[in-house]
Chains A and B, each alone.
Chain A
Amino acid sequence: MTGAAFGRPVSYAGGWTFIEESDRQSSSVLLHYTPTYQWSIGPRIEANRDQNFTVSSVQPTWLAKRWFGEDYQGNLYFFGGAGIASGINGNSLNNRFAAYGGVMADWETRSLFASYRARYLDAAHFGNQFMQAARVGFAPYEGDTGDLHTWLMVEIDHRPSDPDSVTATPLVRFFKGPLLVEAGYNITVNQPLFNFTYRF
């Protein structure tokens, strides 16, 4: 299940961001608004393709700490969400209240990247799920402002409730101006990954 946006979940004051994420288990879209640089909020819809339910929620994200350096930036975020879980694709279970919460942390320079995220979802009779994922990556070249930036990354995710609890996804991140696109392939369970972020 998608955690909540590896592509900077809080923007600049007054900024909007659209984030789509699709991994081996779920697809989601989030549109968030950032009132101040410390937090964002917006509607999020997530479809769990494995277990045939959706979670329609409102998700606030809090930038708890940002570390600044001349050559690096680190971030610690906490996020949560509350909404309604509904069955799809013939799943006739009744709608239920659902909530989730999690943490994200990242550290990056212009050529190195590392991140971690974890989330726990309580979707009532649709199921409770925990996931965590870590990434490392590097940029084969350092692009300047407005250039196409390319990153090569590997994500390892852990979902204890899945039969394949630990999987690996190599991916490529392309970054240009306000647009970030990630494409990868989970080589453990043969599922694609596609993420898209647009900031405006």
Chain B
Amino acid sequence: MSLFTKIAALVTVVCVAHPLSAQEHHDHSTHTAHDMHEHHDHQEAEVANASHDGHAATSEAILTRTEDIESALAEGGEPIVADVLGVVCDFCAVAMNKIFGKREEVAAIYVDLDTKALSLVLVPGASLSDETIAELAVQAGYRIAEVRRGDAALGQNA
């Protein structure tokens, strides 16, 4: 058996061994709230799709609503969404969680690989400047493209 044939055979075997996983994660470009709920069900996360709230859908990432984030929002903390460049894997998410999770201003955090966005909810009364968020992202090894707060973070802009 040639080298190429061996490689092709192995790749085929592994692909066939993962059909369910592939099926579960199909078509990320057309996520609905239901899709996302399935996607995050291991941590009971749910995306607040703007259209659910009767607002115009936006291509901008909005706050990913995990259980922790919902709880922090209920406490009255400020919601922040930051678009992150270079987030392609779980190590990226771990790094952001570690760096931002150490900050006493942060009540809840979630890094969404699908939307490439960092969702934060601050402790009530706390503040975190755009510059500080950018610097913390650098410490994690990444870059912030844009920060949205309040209604914009929740996708509730007109």
Contact = CB atoms under 8 A, between A and B. Distances in A.
Nearest to A148: B21
Contacts of B86: 66-69, 72-73
B3 A187 contact: yes
Contacts of A185: 10
A15 interface: yes
Interface string A160-200: 00000000101010011110100001011000000000010
Interface in B68-111: 83, 85-96, 98-99, 110-111
Contacts of B145: 70
B94 A178 contact: yes
Nearest to B4: A168
A170 B7 contact: yes
Contacts, number: 130
Q: B interface, by DSSP: helix, strand, loop or mixed?
A: helix
B98 A12 contact: yes
In which size bucket is the chain A interface?
A: 35 or more
Contacts of B141: 10-12, 37, 63, 66
B140 A37 contact: yes
Given A66-B141, A152-B15, A145 B93 contact: yes
Contact of B85 (A70, A108, A146, A175): A70
Interface of B: 3, 6-7, 10-11, 14-15, 18, 21-22, 24-26, 28, 39-40, 42-43, 83, 85-96, 98-99, 110-114, 116, 138-143, 145
17 contacts: A7-B91, A11-B141, A12-B94, A12-B140, A68-B143, A73-B87, A73-B92, A141-B25, A144-B113, A147-B39, A147-B42, A150-B18, A170-B6, A177-B94, A185-B10, A187-B6, A199-B91
